[in-house]
Structure 1
């Protein structure tokens, strides 16, 4: 017998795959139930509205990503004492995330948040989590005013990752862009 938390998780994972494959328009309760291997009633039991489902799917994705990146930052904090190592690590992480449907899904959800005030609050929470993580990493390499720089770094990473997803290119642009931004941030702190 599947526990409610497991069912809920299967539903969220199915939504992320569907959104990544076919966009928000592809999300129907029947398709979610089929993809998740649950009853149609389970979908509506766990999520009263599609907005609840989309909001929780986005939050889940970012919570998992933030946790994963946070652990990675902790593991490498002593090994990545210099800027080049940190930027290379970010490039490796970006490359490892790939272009599968679950990686495309958050971008679809962020765009949808621009049209949907209910989802906008979840998107704001997600970006705040990314900003906190970026500020932590930037502080560890000595960037002055890391909290102020974090949003720009997150924006650059997100934009360049979107570019890579859309064009099929690698992460070279991301690594180069981060290096330029980070060098500029650390240069101003030593003057």
Structure 2
């Protein structure tokens, strides 16, 4: 007897696909990410990807947008907890020196996102929106010029820390002095 096979509705399937896409990107890189690898990791039929997304590019764009939102929320919550400028400076130092800003896996994904954004307008937009949210998080405590400089410090110093893992990361006193100097000079 013929007919179509009915599959129960899975309201989280799209989210699982995006999470799986980030896992595959983190392990293989964007250049080696495929529909099949994502479907296998998400434990969904290959057709589910084309049901929920208009192709691999749409999956990558939405996965990177999700990554940016998730990281922005954490960045913002850390700064929102600061009650004054001194605590905000300490929060920035924590973002740079502590494990709070990004895990090694998230850094790999960030580098993939930045690279992909060079060639994809939607990913570039997600990166710009993330930068704006980060600066807005800083704006509760610092003027715009300081926000730009401090956000660049968080990004740049964190990247250096990622690649210098064997060296134990940046000296906290040095980072604190630099953050305070920027806040004092531009604040």
TM tier relative to shorter chain: 0.7 to 0.9
Selected match of 2:91 from 66, 83, 86: 86
TM-score between the two structures when normalised by the length of structure 2: 0.79
Distance of 1:95 and 1:119 partners within structure 2: 24
1:54 equivalent in structure 2:
60
User: Per residue, is there more helix in 1 or in 2?
Assistant: 1
CA distance in 2 between partners of 1:150 and 1:111 (Å): 24
Give the Å deviation of 1:121: 1.9
Shift of 1:128: 1.6
Asked if 1:135 is matched to 2:144, the reply is no
Offset of residue 11 of structure 1: 1.1
Aligned partner of 1:77 among 82, 98, 102: 82
Greater RCO, 1 or 2 (C-alpha within 8 Å, sep 6+): 1
Taking structure 1 as reference, are residues 72 and 22 closer, same or farther at Cα in structure 2, changes over 3 Å only? same
Distance 2:82 2:158 in 1: 23
Structure 2 residue ranges without an equivalent (≥5): 1-7
CA RMSD of aligned residues (A): 2.7
Q: CA deviation at 1:37?
A: 1.2
Q: Does 1:122 align with 2:126?
A: yes
Gaps of 5+ in 1: none
Q: Please identify, of 176-185 and 17-26, the stretch whose mean Cα deviation from structure 2 is larger.
A: 176-185
Deviations 1:127-165 (A, max 9, x none): 2222222323xx1xxx3xx22222222222112222222
Q: Contact 1:153/1:178 (CA < 8 Å) preserved in 2?
A: no
Alignment check: 8 A CA contact 2:17 2:38 kept: yes
Does residue 162 of the first structure (1) align with residue 159 of the second (2)?
yes
Q: 1:64 matched to which residue of 2? A: 70
Larger radius of gyration: 2
- C-alpha change, 1:95 and 1:68, in structure 2 (3 Å) is closer
Tell me by how many angstroms 1:34 deviates.
0.6
Q: State the Cα distance separating 1:179 from its structure 2 match.
A: 3.6
Q: 2: distance between equivalents of 1:121 and 1:164?
A: 26
Give the distance between the partners of 2:133 and 2:88, measured in 1 at CA: 22
User: What do residues 61-103 of structure 1 show as CA deviations (whole Å, max 9, x unaligned)?
Assistant: 11112222323333x3238744653344324654573212x43
